[in-house]
Copies of this chain bind each other. A is one copy, B any other.
């Protein structure tokens, strides 16, 4: 048994059982991968993959039982390396954070500023992406910390820890009729074209749910990944914007003052932003520091005990 074999198996599962792809990902030849897998299967005495003809199509029952152990082994190997880095590189290192646009733009800056001040030797890398991409980055190790408002913890191998709660605001040009005639209701809102976030982003689901529950089907004329784009089109009069309050709260002189924000916490469900990390994955000390800077209740102990808690698909027997 060796790590290359384990890597081949893990990657084969991740890449949908296409060994050619696996070979590219692992920077090796395809027959090599094929051999690694077969050798591990021989040594363990079980067929891990279902073979239809000469093609791999899925995991066998033993394969399903064995896979969690394979992943844990590889995870632990990385943890071992990371544990040593703490000594070899001291306070220096790279911290890779994956976040959605809203987080990167509005929530993270103060945490990043504070963190940079206390950890001058840590190189920060900020990746932007959709929640799915963030989850992927965490799993592949591209990112150490993921931050998003959308359930990142659907994967059993990630842990999401709630950071803070927030609500939406409605944004309109300053002369918009919605601003007159009393409080804004969902019904009134639905009469105007809506501009908001892309599906699966920044509390979009709570917007859809609210309208859905009220039996309303507003016309959503434009969706975007980020609040700034939304604001721009609201300003152009394309429609009414619905976005995270935080995107309006601050005093960014960047966005034109012609816009008016109306608190909409009573219209849409409360959203929660979480940080996510790999379950069972050791982080460098400064990564825990960053999380703590971002959300002060998330101390190293809290995060670690959450990471240690077993997930759905822990290594377990049949």
Chain A residues with CB under 8 Å of chain B are 1-3, 44-46, 61-62, 65-66, 69-70, 72-73, 76-77, 79-81, 83-88, 282, 285, 304, 308, 310, 314-318
Contact = CB atoms under 8 A, between A and B. Distances in A.
8 contacts: A1-B80, A44-B88, A45-B87, A46-B87, A62-B87, A79-B315, A86-B318, A285-B317
A169 to B, nearest CB: 41
Contacts of A73: 73, 76-77, 80
Contacts of A2: 2-3
Given A73-B80, A76-B69, A86 B317 contact: yes
B44 A317 contact: no
A86 B66 CA distance: 10
Given A73-B77, A308-B310, A315-B79, A44 B3 contact: no
B76 A62 contact: no
B80 A44 contact: yes
The secondary-structure label for the interface of chain A is helix
Contacts of A76: 69, 72-73, 76, 315
A268 B69 CA distance: 46
B318 A1 contact: no
B83 A65 contact: yes
Given A2-B2, A3-B2, A317-B285, A45 B83 contact: no
A83 B1 contact: no
A79 B81 CA distance: 21
A201 to B, nearest CB: 34
A163 to B, nearest CB: 22
A42 to B, nearest CB: 11
Contact of A45 (B66, B69, B79, B88): B88
Contact of A79 (B69, B83, B88): B69
A233 B168 CA distance: 85
A310 B81 CA distance: 21
Contact of A282 (B84, B88, B282, B315): B315
Contacts of A285: 317-318
A130 to B, nearest CB: 31
Contacts of A66: 80, 83-84
Contacts of A77: 1, 73
Nearest to A309: B308
Nearest to A304: B316
A240 B144 CA distance: 67
A317 to B, nearest CB: 6
A283 to B, nearest CB: 9
A154 to B, nearest CB: 23
Contacts of A79: 69, 315
A69 B78 CA distance: 10
Q: Which of A61, A69, A314 has the most chain B CB within a 10 Å cutoff?
A: A69
Contacts of A80: 1, 44, 66, 69-70, 73
